[in-house]
Amino acid sequence: MRNIWVIAKRELGSYFSSPVAYVFIVIFLVLCGFFTFMVGNFFARNEASLASFFIWHPWLFLFLVPAAGMRLWSEERRSGSIELLLTMPVTAWQAILGKFLAAWLFLGLALVLTFPIVVTVIYLGAPDIGVIVSGYIGSFLVMGTYLAISSMTSSVTRNQVVSFITSVVVCLFLILAGWPPVTNMVVTWAPAWLVEGVAAFSVIPHFDALQRGVLDLRDLVYSFSVIGFALFTTGVILRSRRA
């Protein structure tokens, strides 16, 4: 754990050593505010909830999270520092977890900075705080899911643009597989068992349950299973490249 934490601190510090991190956070907050108040019609809903805030997160994170995660291993491979990192007295797993946790904490910080929206809804009404907390947990888990996939795709190529596009495509599948407009269309010609099986891989049903305040163990298992699988695949790819 000490090695993981050392790598995480190193990576987290590298985020804030350049203006890119601050620009990313500003863009993230502006987009969250725009989708909540303008596109989501926050005030027109006339209800004390953050439904208009959380509903856009799987789509918003679809581009922002891969943008933050595309450099995890692509930059290391491009600069050649991956050989130095993997020859240090740390295992590949420690390096993978350290870099992943640093990026996840960075994204979590950006998510926490949306607290003025929470303050606004509390000022205007009496929202269910439990539902809000559950929604934030769901958003954080979606971030982690997308980020783990971005880590996997960035380990394949040294080109950050290729890593970004590939991770967006994979994450888009995880959305569309369970998005009601898509499943309702597919169910007209595909058997229900097949539609339900594919939808089980989607982040949408699990995220929807969490944003409604339903904290189900199955939703947590799903998120950590995808994260674990993607990070395991990252390790396999890095070891094969090292060999």
Domain boundaries, the chain: 2-242
**pLDDT over 70 for what percent of the chain?**
93
The mean pLDDT of 180-209, rounded to a whole number, is 78
pLDDT digit string, tens, across residues 203-242: 988 898 899 888 888 899 999 999 999 999 998 888 776 5
**pLDDT over 90 for what percent of the chain?**
40
Model pLDDT, residue 80 = 61
Model pLDDT, residue 83 = 60
pLDDT digit string, tens, across residues 24-64: 999 999 999 999 888 878 877 777 788 889 999 999 999 99
Model pLDDT, residue 216 = 85
- Please spell the DSSP secondary structure of the chain, one letter per residue: -HHHHHHHHHHHHHHTTSHHHHHHHHHHHHHHHIIIIIIS-HHHH-SSS-HHHHTTHHHHHHHHHHHHHTHHHHHHHHHTHHHHHHHSSS-HHHHHHHHHHHHHHHHHHHHHTTHHHHHHHHHHS---HHHHHHHHHHHHHHHHHHHHHHHHHHTT-S-HHHHHHHHHHHHHHHHHTT-HHHHHHHTTTS-HHHHHHHHTT-HHHHHHHHHTT---HHHHHHHHHHHHHHHHHHHHHHHHHH-
pLDDT digit string, tens, across residues 156-183: 888 889 999 999 999 998 888 877 777 7
pTM score: 0.90
Model pLDDT, residue 241 = 65
